[in-house]
Amino acid sequence: MSDVEAVHRRFYDTELPERATRPLGDQRERQVREFAEQCLAERLPRVVEIGCGGGRDARVIADAGLDYTGVDLSPVGARVCRDLGLRACAGSAVALPFADDSFDAGWTMSTLMHLPGAGMSQALAELRRVLRPGALLEIGVWGAAADGEWFDAHGRYFRHRTDDDLRRALGLVGDVVAFAAWDQLDESGAHYQWARVRVGGRS
């Protein structure tokens, strides 16, 4: 485990039991409900979430009747989800503990921005591996008007990409069929980025 992963794991092992009780917020709840509805409409029953945390998104997905599986770097987060009756395990986004083509859809919010170096590319390659061709993937991360990386007061690592850079990264997984940004924070241009990707085939 890298130093960055160790810091994140310690933080979320402490944070997630309380975070599980927080409301999602209107925008996030709307997005996850629309995702679940899209999965149902397209008959994409097997859904994996990368960064399941305290199970807030997971409950919406599972309650819609989808076959949910979550994975989180924090064993505490995975346990919180299991205590809610959800299938979840501890694991790394860059080495997912699943076989190829295991899932019909993927969901990951506010997770992949914490991966340093080539971590996001590795995580996207793993998602492409475990999602079958034609699968639906929705991803959300914090981005900014310029590329950058920084650490917060807790020692958590953040990598912010521009909208264009995120689109290019996601293009390695498949076709970006929708993209939106909201919640600009300040003059730095920091904002939330959301994308819907149709996973491509593997050569």
Task: Identify the DSSP state of 182.
Answer: E
Q: How many residues does the chain have?
A: 203
Neighbours of 67 (CB within 10 A): 16
**Interatomic CA distance for residues 191 and 14, integer angstroms:** 26
Tally Cβ neighbours within 10 Å of residue 92.
20
Strand pairing partners for 197?
137, 176
Q: How confident is the model over 109-151, as pLDDT tens digits?
A: 999 999 999 999 999 999 999 999 999 999 999 999 899 999 9
The mean pLDDT of 43-59, rounded to a whole number, is 96
pLDDT, mean over the chain: 93
Contact between 149 and 193 under an 8 Å Cβ cutoff? The reply is no
Domain that holds residue 113: 3-199
Q: Which CATH number is 159's domain given?
A: 3.40.50.150
Specify the pTM.
0.94
Structure confidence at residue 203 as a pLDDT band (50, 70, 90): low
- In sequence order, the β-bridge partners of residue 50 are 71
pLDDT in tens, 66-110: 999 999 999 999 999 999 999 999 999 999 999 999 999 999 999
**All residues at 6 or more sequence positions from 171 whose CB lies less than 8 Å from its CB, including other chains:** none
- How many domains are contained in the chain? 1
Contact 44, 136 (CB under 8 A): yes
Give the pLDDT of residue 182.
Answer: 84
Tokens 């293009």: give the residue. Answer: 171
Distance of CA 69 to the CA centre of its chain: 13
pLDDT digits (tens, 9 = 90+) for 159-192: 999 999 999 999 989 999 999 998 777 666 789 9
β 103-109/131-143 pair status = parallel
More confident residue, 25 or 51: 51
